[in-house]
Copies of this chain bind each other. A is one copy, B any other.
């Protein structure tokens, strides 16, 4: 590594394949509109065959987050598995081109590079069908423990808690980071992730993690309540800082038993909401690395999330640094 790394993110290394289709395309296949689900290789093949023509673009939640952080001047590294194939080459090229250190060796056997088949319906909503492929083959051996020990923040993607080998890698990374007194951050990722791993996620939040990101649906699911205030009251009981994102209403930072609400950023037109949560987390953590206050971090998160939803695609297009400077100084 040439420069010291500020943040190491562990997540799914996915290429998004995005196509527009009518709502009936989902309904006929019994796919819940607006959902994210994991699919098998066979399902991915069948679904792709039925999808309209599309475009391929690098994705992955934590990978999106760190590309945003690099654009804000942080020095991130990403850990995640692709295969030694063309989609893997695209993922590797794009994340490095965005200024993120990426050294995880590709799988040379096993599953192909993971992909997220995204159906965009005329209402602008995205329905995500993820075939994890090589992502699941990430293991402890892919971790550079010295790098984790040296980075200010370790950031973990909830989506990757599902397959066992990457989960073990994340558990090891948590142990290494905490032993060095580093900050561990975690995103709840999705309601289905919370439902599938509620006890694990609670345990992480209560014992192993310093900073958690989630939207209202995810934190409500965590405490099995429909009352966001009840969920936030639960979160306030723990030492962990929690940031609850609230779409256009901004975000609430819960730290030391206190709630700090930050207003949302005005967006003239929401073109594509994908990546809003990823980019919020990126903006927030870039602020942390600069030593900003928690509310300023949340403001940066809102600014960067607003940028990414104002255009097609989940990675930033504008000069984020200039944008934040213009708004916050």
CA distance A112 to B51 in the complex (A): 24
CA distance A299 to B69 in the complex (A): 49
Query: Shortest CB–CB separation between residue A267 and chain B, in angstroms?
Result: 20
Q: Which of A6-51 contact B (CB under 8 A)?
A: 17, 19, 48-49, 51
Q: Which of A47-92 contact B (CB under 8 A)?
A: 48-49, 51-58, 67, 85-87, 90
CA distance A17 to B58 in the complex (A): 12
Copies of this protein, total: 2
Query: Shortest CB–CB separation between residue A98 and chain B, in angstroms?
Result: 5
Q: Are B58 and A57 in contact (CB under 8 A)?
A: no
Q: Are B55 and A93 in contact (CB under 8 A)?
A: no
> What is the chain B residue whose CB lies nearest that of A19?
B97
Q: Assuming the A-B contacts A55-B55, A57-B56, are A112 and B97 also in contact, with contact meaning beta carbons closer than 8 angstroms in the complex? A: no
The reply on A167 being an interface residue by CB < 8 A is no
Q: Are B97 and A53 in contact (CB under 8 A)?
A: yes
- Mark interface residues in A97-122 (1 if CB within 8 Å of B CB, else 0): 11000000000000011000000000
Q: Are B87 and A54 in contact (CB under 8 A)?
A: no
The reply on A94 being an interface residue by CB < 8 A is yes
Nearest 4 CB-CB pairings of A with B: A53-B94, A56-B56, A86-B86, A55-B57
Residues of A at under 8 Å CB distance from B?
17, 19, 48-49, 51-58, 67, 85-87, 90, 93-95, 97-98, 112-113, 313, 315
8 more contacts with CB within 8 A, not counting A53-B315, A54-B57, A85-B86, are A19-B97, A49-B93, A53-B93, A53-B94, A54-B94, A55-B313, A86-B87, A86-B113
